[in-house]
Amino acid sequence: MPHDGIIYLDHAATSWPKPPEVFAAVKRALGPAGGNPHRSAHRLALEAARLVLEARSAVASFLGAGDARDLLFVPGCTFGLNMALKGLLGAGDRVVISSVEHNAVMRPLAVLEAHGVEVVRMPVDGAGRVDLDAAEAIIAAGKTKAVVCQHASNVTGAIQPVADLADIAHEHGAVLVVDGAQAAGHLRVDVRALGADVYVASGHKGLLGPQGVGVVYLAPGLELPELVQGGSGGESVSPAMPDARPDRYEAGTPPVPAIAGLAAGVGVLARELDAIMAHERRLVQRLVDGLLEVPGIAVLGPAPGEERAPVVSIIHESVEPDRIAYELDSRFGIAVRSGLHCAPAAHASAGTLETGAVRFSVGRGVTEDDVERAVEAVREVCQA
Ligand code: PMP
């Protein structure tokens, strides 16, 4: 069923609509838990502190972190990736990345590169997946400090072999940083089973929370310099941030309403993830099959039937992506995203840097009927 007259197929940008549980949790965080956590000792502040504590445990357990203190709340995935990359890498260090990374990785690395960090890219195959043999040779070819790879692509939906990359990285003395923006909430993520040293995700995409919070899993024993310093509610006499997690990495007042909403979103996922994943798989299959039946359309990334995150990007031989997205919205009320999706590297690998693509991304709440309508609308827009 369209919500508010909109068929929303832009879940990779942000999930919408949020579950009612998320609204309720945000409301509570603005009401009876509306104090400033870890600061004052009155009931509103204590409720807020309890809320953040419980949220941390819920999200940590959902993502497979053994200790909730290893799960940090940050302003977003982009912030978390900046924190990890700028904390880990300095002049003279070597970092190996996939050649399909998002600008949330590429842009901080461009700054680091200008400060003397060597950035080396691993190639991907035709489906957009990292080639592990090539990866191993490249990682072994120098003293690699870190390997950075997304878990799933926001352009092709390709799922990367991150557990294998973790093994290779560790064999060669490097840490693995994973950008889980498009995986968390769409794939089963167990950060310890994957072997990730750092795993970063957005709260507002597959995890169903509001915008304004992201999460960083930092493996036990791996310490980074914090990116931001400020009040932590305790040990206030010292000019330095406290050493203990999570305080060291969470200076300033946390976004309690966003954290509350995120925990509620994760609560929904903890109950429904298998069903959501099966549903998304069906929707993706139908989208891929249906769109490929439209003359002149090609689908980027994994072949039909192969596993992918719930993202399907297309190009048409003559109708431009922006035109397709505009017509879908204005004539059919269908929300998709055209352009480069903040990931020129991924488009360069897919051969679509010049044109961009139209991305359909599904999630909880999208129906088979929505997808059928989208395919039919694309057919109409693209017929001569
Ligand atoms: N990495 C990938 C693969 C993404 O798709 C996104 C969001 N488009 C990000 C990182 C950044 O996430 P956020 O904008 O929530 O910080």
Active site residue 149: no
Token pair, residue 361, equals: 């991304």
Looking from the CA of residue 76, the nearest atom of ligand 1 is 16
Superfamily of domain 7-18+273-383: Aspartate Aminotransferase, domain 1 (3.90.1150.10)
Ligand 1: distance of its center to the CA of 45 in Å?
31
Q: Which atom of ligand 1 is nearest to the CA of 79?
A: 16
pLDDT score recorded for residue 40: 85
The alpha carbon of 60 and the centre of ligand 1 are apart by a number of angstroms equal to: 20
Q: Taking the mean position of all CA atoms in its chain, how far away is CA 351?
A: 23
Nearest-angstrom CA–CA distance, 254 and 34: 12
Comparing 351 with 101, the larger pLDDT belongs to 101
Is the shortest distance between the CB of 179 and ligand 1 below 6 Å? Answer: yes
List all residues 6 or more positions away from 18 whose beta carbon is below 8 Å from its beta carbon: 208, 209, 210, 261, 265
Q: Tens digits of per-residue pLDDT, 58-68?
A: 999 999 999 99
Is residue 311 pLDDT above 70, yes or no?
Answer: yes
| Cβ-contact 214, 201 below 8 angstroms | yes
Residue ranges of the chain that CATH labels 3.40.640.10:
20-267
Answer whether residue 153 shows pLDDT above 60.
yes
349 ligand 1 Cβ < 6 A: no
Question: Tens of pLDDT along 350-371?
Answer: 888 888 999 999 999 999 999 9
| Cβ of 101 below 6 Å from ligand 1 | no
Cα 144 from Cα 120, distance rounded (Å): 10
Query: 159: which DSSP letter?
Result: B
Our answer on whether the CB atom of 103 is closer than 6 Å to any ligand 1 atom is: no
Q: Is 202 in the pocket of ligand 1 (CB under 6 A)?
A: yes
Q: From residue 222, how far is each of 69, 89, 228, 242 by CA, in Å? A: 13, 13, 18, 16
- 310 Cα distance to chain centroid: 12
268: helix, strand or coil = helix
N residues, the chain:
384
- The CATH code belonging to domain 20-267 is 3.40.640.10
Q: Is 59 in the pocket of ligand 1 (CB under 6 A)?
A: no
How far apart are the CA of 240 and the centre of ligand 1, in A? 31
Specify the amino acid at residue 383: Q
Measured CA to CA, the distance from residue 55 to residue 63 in angstroms comes to 12
Residue 183 pLDDT more than 80? yes
Atom of ligand 1 nearest to the CA of 205: 15
| Residue 137 pLDDT exceeds 70 | yes
pLDDT range class, residue 125, cuts 50, 70, 90: very high
Total Cβ atoms within 10 A of residue 146: 21
What are the start and end residues of each CATH 3.90.1150.10 domain in the chain? 7-18+273-383
Average pLDDT, integer, range 85-90: 98
pLDDT for position 325: 97
**In which element (H, E) is residue 270 found?**
helix 256-292
- pLDDT attached to residue 39: 80
Q: Which of 83, 376, 60 is nearest to 228 (CA)?
A: 83
Of 52, 28, 26, 30, the residue nearest 39 (C-alpha): 52
Angstrom distance (rounded) from CA 177 to CA 81: 8
The predicted structure's pLDDT at residue 2: 63
Give the pLDDT band (50/70/90) at residue 347.
confident
The mean of the pLDDT values for the chain is: 96
Asked if the model's pLDDT at residue 152 lies above 60, the reply is: yes
Say if CB 188 and CB 38 are below 8 A apart. no
Q: Does residue 264 contact residue 258 with C-beta atoms inside 8 Å?
A: no
Mutation choice for ligand 1 from 11, 162, 182, CB with most ligand atoms inside 8 A: 182
Note whether 126 and 74 are within 8 A (CB): no
For residues 189-200, average pLDDT: 98
pLDDT of residue 123: 96
